[in-house]
Amino acid sequence: MNPVLGQLQQNLMVALEARKAQLRAAGTRLFDFGLGDPREPTPPFLRQALRDAVPEVSQYPSAAGPPALRQAAAGYLARRFGVSVDPERQVLPATGAKETIFHLPFAFCGGGDASTAGAPGDGSASAARRTVVMPDPGYPTYEVGARFAGLTPLKVPLTAANRFLIEPEALGPAVLDRTLLFWVSYPHNPTGALAPRDYLARVGAAALRHGFIVVSDECYADIYFGAPPPSMLQVQVENVLAIHSCSKRSGLTGYRTGFVAGDADLVAVLRRLRSHPGVASPDFVSAAATAAWSDDAHAAERRGIFARKRELFLAFFRERGLAVHGSEATLYLWVRVPAGLDSAGYAARLLEAGIVVAPGTAFGAGEGYVRVALVPTLSECGEAIEAWRRVAA
């Protein structure tokens, strides 16, 4: 067995599924706010785009993706952020954000050769530049990908007091000089926090000063409830890669499609990598993704549904005296557990009442919180709140 597997925390959903299955078998109705997989139907025009693109003869897809998909992604970036990118050189389709996040460190880690003198863009990393800075709590795949690539994760604690931001200069020049990848994740999973544009500018300036790559996970950029969140690409493109996904924006979680865009030299390295593991999306999935990135109305409609769910829960949490931190965007609410309980204990208590939430510790340094993913339908959310009211504390 690869020793890295033994170093990793068991996947959250794997750990929850056994108890969920027992409760279902016993007749308990479950309201599942654990995995971020919304129940709203995939928009009909996207399903139709997929159907229409299923070919009579199935053939291998290109790792670079169809030109129409790259052009649609570039068009989305132009409309949403006012960012102009070359779809041929600066956009690369991906088989979902998770695949990109996992594989990306392999493109720049030097293949385990510590003697390689590396620099961002040449596809290698020296022994002195093998640190991957990431938020804690954060999406677990940041750490998983780094470890499998033989890199060293540096998990930086996020708290409400530091506005859930990793200030680069607070890490010190010695750390930044050995950093290869610096993950930013805004809107942030699991806390739902936002980053102001001036913060992204500080990260970008540090990347140019110290020579590391900024990887910006922007998969929740279209699920917001105030001003639209900025993209790292609005600050700079040099030394930057931004990851986008159709999963939450368009209800295509099961289709596994997204894209990465940014610095042309870095995108070229990723394109070379992706030709090897065979992870290209089928062309009929790419057709649905092309339709999704070409349309903003369906994303706005979904955002409105999440907003109504969010308001229901925020009102209930105020009534219950439960503090909510971050939670300015995404489909997640970062909820402080009642006094005297820890994250796992409160999640277990809710689970026995049929309410599935993720303990904050599933994302790293999230003790004292649970993450509530606004996944069930609006009517189911109302029923779940009534069940939650019956839970002690």
What is the arithmetic mean of pLDDT over 41-52?
A: 98
The CATH class of 44-295 is alpha beta
- pLDDT value for 87: 98
At 317, phi and psi to the nearest 5?
A: -65, -35
Whether this prediction's pTM lies above 0.85 is answered by yes
Q: What are the residue boundaries of the structural domains of the chain, listed by start?
A: 3-42+298-389, 44-295
Asked whether the domain spanning 44-295 has the same topology as the one spanning 3-42+298-389, the reply is no
CB 152 within 8 A of CB 110: no
What is the arithmetic mean of pLDDT over 192-205?
A: 98
- pLDDT value for 16: 72
Q: Residues 337-375, buried b or exposed e (16+ Cβ, 10 A)?
A: bbeeeebeebbebbbebbbbbbbbbbbbbbebbbbbbbb
- pLDDT value for 5: 87
**Structure confidence by residue, pLDDT tens digits, 332-374:** 999 999 999 999 999 999 999 999 999 999 999 999 999 999 9
- pLDDT value for 118: 44
pLDDT band at 123 (very low <50, low <70, confident <90, very high): very low
The CATH class of 3-42+298-389 is alpha beta
The amino acid that residue 355 corresponds to is I
CA geometry: angle at 194 spanning 192 and 196, to 5°? 175
**Structure confidence by residue, pLDDT tens digits, 52-90:** 999 999 999 998 999 999 999 999 999 999 999 999 999
Of 250, 260, 248, 347, nearest to 291 (Cα)? 250
- The SS3 call for residue 216 is strand
- pLDDT value for 15: 65
Residue 278 pLDDT more than 90?
no
